[in-house]
Structure 1
Amino acid sequence: MVTSRPSSIYFGYGSNMWIDQMDRRCPENKYLGIARLADWKWFICEKGYANVVRSPGDEVWGLVYEISEADEQKLDGYENVPDNYHKQYHTVTVFDKKHKAEGAAGAATLALIYVDVERTKESSPKTEYIYRMNMAIADALKEGVPEAYIKKYLRAFIPE
């Protein structure tokens, strides 16, 4: 795991899959496509928000964005770094929508991921978070995140 800023690629796996929210939070962002984080698992943690933990055989899908340093500082505020989330850098496989649909292999890249290392137990989502996650799920599906992933992981916590 790298702890300094090696790239400007950000992997959003929770409500930041909602493209409009990312545009409001990080106005300089450039949407790049979808990505998969292998051997991690998505869940709602005790704070009521999305989190990921290492889990061999599982996977986390999300949207990737190129962000500026100014946008990253804004995201740090939204993610309440370091009180809630910690910044980590992990390799994700990036796909654009066309290539994912064709089953092509994606490109491996190092991406910033916010991880809550202290709250690792499953819980229920905050009421306000359900709406934002449903908007994020709609965008994720539209962009090509596998529906089977959404059903297996996200819908176990987020009602429609």
Structure 2
Amino acid sequence: MGTSDSPPHSIYFGYGSNLWLDQMSRRCPSTPYLGLGRLKDYHWFINERGYANIAHSTTYLDQDETDEVWGLIYSLTPEDEAMLDINEGVPYAYEKEVIPVEFWEKGTPDVGKGAGRNVDMLVYIDHKRSEGGYKPREEYIVRMNKGIDDALKEGVPMEYVERVLRPYIPAEEQGVEVEKLAQRQAGGFEDESGVIPARVTAEAVGSGVDLVGGGGGAGAGAGGGGGVKNLTKIWEGRE
């Protein structure tokens, strides 16, 4: 998590293709996996861009069950957060928020069972395209299935995968060329939806500089700099 002399880290909740541990290690090489998270009263869907998104729920699924989103938790250095901003298309596609997430540390007994502890975490949400019912992009199906495999190994419930993810993400191979595209996208995302300006994507991929955030760097965006950066104190102090 860093020393007292190192810049503060953000605690990040990944719920889409960043369930894929290898993708996160390639995009954010200094980012360790911390454990499992559950975000209550939100629902998961594929939006019109063809990628995963979440939105706050206003109604219950039924009398006994509320919406919930499961994800994997990572610690982001400021540099890795800036690179994640680029890959997530901040602020054109996703915006950044700090939201309390129920957390189970990796390696603990019965991870994902019982009650976890609430920790404020960095979450990327697309508020402009907040409706579901759309088809995922073919290469995104590949990346999501790799993420689902990792998520299940880390303790995400199979029931959640079958009920929430599988209606959008079929468990099937997509072909060699689609697999190759998925691998390229995992290493450095290039937007195919037209939402992120082409020059931003091209320059970011070529230089690795945080051009998307408008110079704000880590902690910029809808979540605000101070609130995101201070998340390390919550984690390191086990508050």
Higher Rg: 2
TM-score by length of 1: 0.92
Structure 1 pair 155/80, CA: closer, same or farther in 2 (3 Å)? same
Q: State the secondary structure of the residue aligned to 2:109.
A: helix
Structure 2: give runs of 5+ residues left out of the alignment: 1-7, 59-65, 172-239
The answer for the alignment partner of 2:152 in structure 1 is: 141
Counterpart Cα distance in 1 of 2:120 and 2:32? 16
Could you tell me which amino acid in structure 1 is paired with residue 121 of structure 2? A
Query: 1:68-108 CA distances to partner (integer Å, 9 max, x unpaired)?
Result: 01000000000000000000110001113533448342121
- Off by >6 Å, runs of 4+ in structure 1: none
Q: Work out whether residues 112 and 156 of structure 2, in 8 Å CA contact, stay in contact via their aligned partners in 1.
A: no
Structure 1: give runs of 5+ residues left out of the alignment: 1-5
Q: State the secondary structure of the residue aligned to 1:66.
A: strand
Could you tell me which amino acid in structure 1 is paired with residue 82 of structure 2? Q
Q: Work out whether residues 112 and 155 of structure 2, in 8 Å CA contact, stay in contact via their aligned partners in 1.
A: no
The answer for the alignment partner of 1:36 in structure 2 is: 38
Q: Say which of 73, 90, 98 aligns to 1:81.
A: 90
The answer for the alignment partner of 2:169 in structure 1 is: 158
Q: Say which of 60, 65, 78 aligns to 1:69.
A: 78
Q: Work out whether residues 7 and 110 of structure 1, in 8 Å CA contact, stay in contact via their aligned partners in 2.
A: no
RMSD: 1.5
Structure 1 pair 99/13, CA: closer, same or farther in 2 (3 Å)? same
Counterpart Cα distance in 1 of 2:15 and 2:113? 21
Q: State the secondary structure of the residue aligned to 1:99.
A: coil
Q: Say which of 41, 48, 51 aligns to 1:49.
A: 51
Q: Work out whether residues 7 and 111 of structure 1, in 8 Å CA contact, stay in contact via their aligned partners in 2.
A: no
Q: Are residues 1:119 and 2:121 paired?
A: no
